Amino acid sequence: MRNKDFLSLVAVGLLVSTLSVGTVKAEGNEYELSKKLVERQVGKPIQQGIIDSHTLDQLEKEVKGSQSYSAKGFNKMGATSSSISGSEVDDYMFETEPNDEFDYADDTSYEKLTIGQLLPLYDVDIHKVVVPKDGILLVAGGTNSSAIDLGFGAVQKDFIENDKLVYLGSDYDENGFQYKAYQAKGGTYYIGVIDNDNDLYDDNTEEDFYVLATGFVDNVAPNKPIVNKVDNNDTVVTGKAEPGSTVTVKRGNTVLATAKAASNRVFSAKIAVQKAGTKLAITAKDSAGNVSASVTLTVADVIAPNRPTVNKVDDNDRKVTGKAEANSRVTVKVGNKTLGSAYADSKGKYSVKIKAQKKGTTLAVTAKDKAGNQSSKRTIKVVKH
């Protein structure tokens, strides 16, 4: 971010020639609408915790340029214009007239300060800012001159008001710099700038400047990831999440894997094979540290039970016994006819009631688990008692 002292640059005569001094009075009612907008966007402190202190501190440094800022000090620095190089001018953006209508708005940059003047009387400057995604738009403003009672505010084109841009509040510091915050949907917005004391007198000169800085804070958590089915054969968890976000797969408090979502949103996180019924929690964290809501899924069982074991069956027996997967349902058939079925207990023991079968009859015994996976069949011939 910007670290140079903008004050040592703004005051120089070089800027007077670089800036296109306002010669066009605001058309229509942009000035009055901007003034009403600015008046509405005051008296509401920014709620603590919405923006971290580091972000505000950085924005403050960019606008103030130095902690020793004052109008008097600014004027003194104006005498050092010969020390300013042309390369320093390239670090800033400058107002160009006409910019008093939305269609003629000047572009802004998060990487550069914008410097402008409010001339002649009732001049309004409009600057365009692009919010890359849903988040907080920050606008900071200050001036080098007591002749400017700086007023500014962000707005949608043609002063439309809806939930795409919501004013969160503003703060001032002891030097008169103001900071405003807006919850914004991704899109293009405009910053109107006026001199609030125009109704009293016009005492601005070509040496009076204002400066704007814009910032963006991503405070919106990604949407919940879309996660594909995970079974007890899988060694990866796949799905889609916000591009560039870090997807984390957990079992309880244990992190099983992390992976980056690609530009097409696809992610693939390697895991060890998990038991059927295991619950996994998957979240996505963006580069700003915002974490999505968790997606919870249960590892599916796709592995068929082993073939049951079957004890000897004679032509006098009225049950088939043996062992199978715990809690599976054991079925005994002769050809396509089902003789009976029963659940194995927690230790795998089962006992299926049947009618006595003739010697030599072939019985087919299978086990099916709760997920519907069925074992291969075990065959046995009925023997004579």
| CATH code, domain carrying 127 | 2.60.120.380
Is pLDDT above 60 for 251? Answer: yes
pLDDT at 236: 98
Which of these three, 298, 333, 354, is where a domain ends?
A: 298
Give the full edge-to-edge strand order of the sheet including 150-155: 106-107, 125-131, 187-195, 150-155
- Report CA dihedral (16, 65, 40, 48) to the nearest 10 degrees: 170
237 or 142: which leads in pLDDT = 237
19 and 140 belong to one structural domain = yes
The predicted structure's pLDDT at residue 334: 97
Asked whether residue 235 falls in the same domain as residue 110, the answer is no
pLDDT confidence bin for 173, thresholds 50/70/90 = confident
pLDDT classification of 93: cutoffs 50, 70, 90: confident
One domain, residues 202 and 245 = no
CA distance 4 to 12: 15
Same domain flag for 60 and 165: yes
Give the per-residue pLDDT at 51: 66
Looking at the whole model, is its pTM more than 0.95? no
State both tokens at 307: 């073939």
The sheet carrying 226-227 orders its strands as 226-227, 236-240, 266-270
> Are residues 325 and 280 both part of a single domain?
no
261-290: pLDDT as tens digits: 999 999 999 999 999 999 999 999 999 999
Q: What radius of gyration do the chain's Cα atoms show?
A: 37
Which pLDDT value is given to residue 14?
31
CA-nearest of 6, 60, 33 to 171 is: 60
At which of 189, 217, 245 does a domain end? 217
Residue 303 is assigned to a structural domain of this protein:
no
In a domain, 262, yes or no: yes
Position 200, amino acid = L
Which structural domain range is residue 280 located in?
Answer: 226-298
- The answer to whether position 364 is within a domain reads yes
What's the mean per-residue pLDDT of the chain? 83
The continuous run of DSSP H or E covering 360 comes out as: none
Residue 329 domain flag: yes
**Dist CA 239 CA 361 (whole Å):** 51
- Residues 339, 277 share a domain: no
**Confidence label for 20 from pLDDT (cuts 50, 70 and 90):** very low
> Are 321 and 281 in the same domain?
no
CATH of the domain at 333: 2.60.40.10
Q: Is 350 helix (H, G, I), strand (E, B) or coil?
A: strand
Residue 14 or 232, more confident: 232
Q: How does residue 12 score in pLDDT terms, banded at 50, 70 and 90? A: very low
Q: How far is CA 289 from CA 135, 247, 286, 292, 294, in A?
A: 13, 12, 5, 10, 15
Tell me which of 19-28, 67-76, 135-144, 146-155 is least confident.
67-76
Do residues 130 and 243 share a domain?
A: no
pLDDT exceeds cutoff 50 at 101: yes
Q: 380 with 313: CB under 8 angstroms?
A: yes
Q: Indicate the residue among 200, 217, 234 that finishes a domain.
A: 217
Q: Which two tokens stand for residue 347?
A: 């230790």
When divided into structural domains, the chain yields a total of: 3
